[in-house]
A and B are shown apart, each in its own frame.
Chain A
Amino acid sequence: MPTTSITLDETPLVLHLLRRADDALILGHRLSEWTGHAPTLEEELALANMALDLIGQARLLYAYAGSLAGHDEDQLAYLRDARAWRNCLLVELPNGDFAQTILRIVLFSAFMDPCWQATTRSADPTLAAIAAKAEKEVAYHLRHSAEWLIRLGDGTEESHRRAEAALDALWPYSGELFEADAADQAMIDAGIAPDPATLRGTWDATLADVLARATLARPGDTWMQTGGRTGRHTEHLGYLLADLQYLQRAYPGATW
């Protein structure tokens, strides 16, 4: 009987890789939900391309985490229950409207762009190699989503209203990107991962630039949502996983 659920020995490195990989896969899955629904053909291709990049990054990270933890990439994606997922809450929220979809990519990519750049200098050669590919891809995602956000914010009354609503809705989920617990600190001390606090300045500057051009006001400092990195998720993740994991749950070990 094939395995239907796995539990992992989460060493600090495995946990770090899962946090990066789960962010990428869950956001990639959310973007893939736009396939067939995007406002224009060009945007359809763009969203699918970004989803493909993210899922590709997730595969590389899962393959590496799995080689350390004794599982293959598919088992890590398909056989973990919601509480074992380590993604931030930001990426698992429903897409909402197009403005919210775009704003989420801006918030996430503005963090991942300097994060992957710094990770190219990681003391871990495999992670550095993955970062060297990912940093080129995320630069495209940031540029594309930022250009859209400017058009939406500085567009019509309706698009401005929607962009503003998206900013208010998602802002409290941005703080989790900068969290670092004991496991993260071990990776930072070992020179394997960058300290997210050192990425804050770049993220702030990018957001200030884009929001100003979009004629959007940066929300004030507020209480930030947390919990995803330790498996305490919103109810939305369970529904997403039911879709993502259905086949391997219904037909354990199925291949084709």
Chain B
Amino acid sequence: MVSERVRRAREAVSTVVDPEIPVLTIADLGVLRDVTEQDGTVEVTITPTYSGCPAMSVIALEVELALAHAGIEDGRVRTVLAPAWTTDWLTAEGRRKLAEFGIAPPEATSSRRALFGEPAAPPCPRCGSGDTEQISAFGSTACKALWRCRTCREPFDAFKCH
């Protein structure tokens, strides 16, 4: 049974956003794994997207702040690595928000690609054209690659399939 405190804590931390993609909450991203209560202490479990994601420490801090604002003073943040985060955990709502923000969401199913070969082209988040090309496999943050639309000529970020 979920206690009133856990319900309140979950509601509060669900609104924490990714500092680098501020339209996505950590719930949308799948970074928020669980909210539990043990011996009167609320514990929020989060998982990193990439090993070196610099947003994690900011997210942990924001979670603690959100708990404090909700009147939960003794909250604790725990970071787990297993199971490893994948882009499959992005919610449908998260994918929609990403596309609206101008970032192409990852393909629905993650797969390990061969050493060489063209990556699957995401449709342009601005004009919807499927005629896009990758500029660089590495983008402005660890989770994104840089693409360009051949139809509207706009460059755009695409969330890496991971």
Contact = CB atoms under 8 A, between A and B. Distances in A.
Interface string A43-77: 10110111011111101100000000000000000
Where chain B touches its partner, the secondary structure class is loop
A45 B50 CA distance: 16
A133 B146 contact: no
Interface string B113-142: 101100000000000000000011111101
Nearest to A40: B136
Contacts of A54: 52
A42 B138 contact: yes
A147 B160 CA distance: 18
Given A45-B140, A53-B142, A137 B84 contact: no
Indicate the size class of the contact surface on chain B.
20 to 34
Contacts of B153: none
Contact of B115 (A126, A130, A209): A209
B116 A57 contact: no
A56 B137 contact: no
Contact of B48 (A49, A133, A140): A133
Interface of B: 48, 50-54, 80-85, 112-113, 115-116, 135-140, 142, 146, 160, 162
Given A129-B81, A132-B81, 20 more contacts: A45-B138, A49-B138, A49-B139, A50-B138, A53-B50, A53-B52, A54-B52, A56-B53, A57-B52, A129-B82, A129-B84, A132-B83, A136-B84, A139-B112, A140-B160, A143-B113, A143-B137, A144-B138, A206-B115, A209-B115
12 contacts: A42-B146, A43-B136, A45-B140, A52-B142, A53-B50, A56-B48, A56-B52, A59-B51, A133-B85, A140-B138, A143-B113, A206-B115
